[in-house]
Amino acid sequence: MHRGLVAQRLIPAVRALHGGRLQRVEVVDPQGVLAGPGCGGLGQLPPPCSVWESGTRGSRHRLTNWFANIIVSYIISKGSDPDDRFDREVDVPTALVTGAAHGIGRAIAARLAADGAEVVVADVDGEAAEATATALGARAVRCDVRDEDSVAELAASLDELDVLVNNAGIWRSASLADARRDDVEAVLDTNVVGSWLVTRAVVEKFPDRGGAIVNLTSVLADLGGVGRGLYPASKAAIVALTKQMAAEYAPRGIRVNAVGPGLVLTEGTAGEFADPGLRDAIGAAMPLGRLGNPDDVAAAVAFLASPSAGYVTGQTLFVDGGWSVNGSAFIGTAVQQYLATL
């Protein structure tokens, strides 16, 4: 925040509390950027370095630290400057969602479009991407996130970008002993390398200051999972990649976070829940008493992509109905109890 903007927000507060007697204000900002000689940030202020004002007769009154805190609270209550790097406001933001033709990706694209974004639907299934884009009033681009040339074409199709959602992902069921190398490589290339390739290619389309990236991980990144091949490992890598991206892109004001869905009913999971009784039993076993739906995940992504999360970066938000609170074992118990009733 610029010195002038700080002063504009401080002066009304000081005048209000001191009867309009303000002649001059010196400010020490929370990060120490505007601190004068010998003064640190507000958290380190010794009494002589507190905010002070001079009265009409020239007498100098040091304000105590509690008053400095009041002033800081006043600044926060007024909100951030639109030019601040973590709160860029645009008339119509552009959002790119990969793997957006179906399921969670489609729900994310729909939510961002409903929130007013111009959405680009990217998917390896070009025909399905076109259908989704038509339904949402969006634009479709066929893209295989594993292929650098395809990703480069995607980047070239963008004039600018404000939000990137790395949702494209696959999984292959297998025990670690039975997993095949080609399946493992496909999972890692799509889920991890693909997210990196897309981000690397489009990040220069972001504004000079600001923007948001949301990566899709999974609750299995935290819990693991029997018979899931290297899918949990790939999603754990996304958590680490999110932190690395957050650190590297923070100087540009780009926030990077991740969302980790739990058990969500989509086209991709329909086979696992073909038995309605089993589906209901597992849903009832969840701490929140139901399975998730794509809109649950989309809402979390929309929040992290918005200015409301302007001071959040490097974090993973699990949207799992409490699954990670209880661990994995209770689901197996629910399945066993259901099977015992058959």
pLDDT in tens, 276-286: 888 899 899 99
> In the predicted model, is pLDDT for residue 65 greater than 80?
no
Identify the weakest region by mean pLDDT among 44-48, 106-110, 211-215. 44-48
Amino acid at 10: L
- pLDDT tens-place string over residues 291-342: 999 999 999 999 999 999 999 999 999 999 999 987 666 677 777 776 777 7
Identify the weakest region by mean pLDDT among 26-30, 35-39, 167-171, 174-178. 35-39
Residues of the chain with CATH 3.40.50.720: 94-267+291-325
231 flagged as catalytic: yes
Q: Is the whole model's pTM more than 0.85, yes or no?
A: no
pLDDT at 149: 98
**Mean pLDDT of the chain, nearest integer:** 80
> In the predicted model, is pLDDT for residue 146 greater than 70?
yes
- pLDDT tens-place string over residues 264-278: 999 877 777 778 888
CATH number of 94-267+291-325: 3.40.50.720
Annotated active-site residue in 231, 249, 311, 338: 231
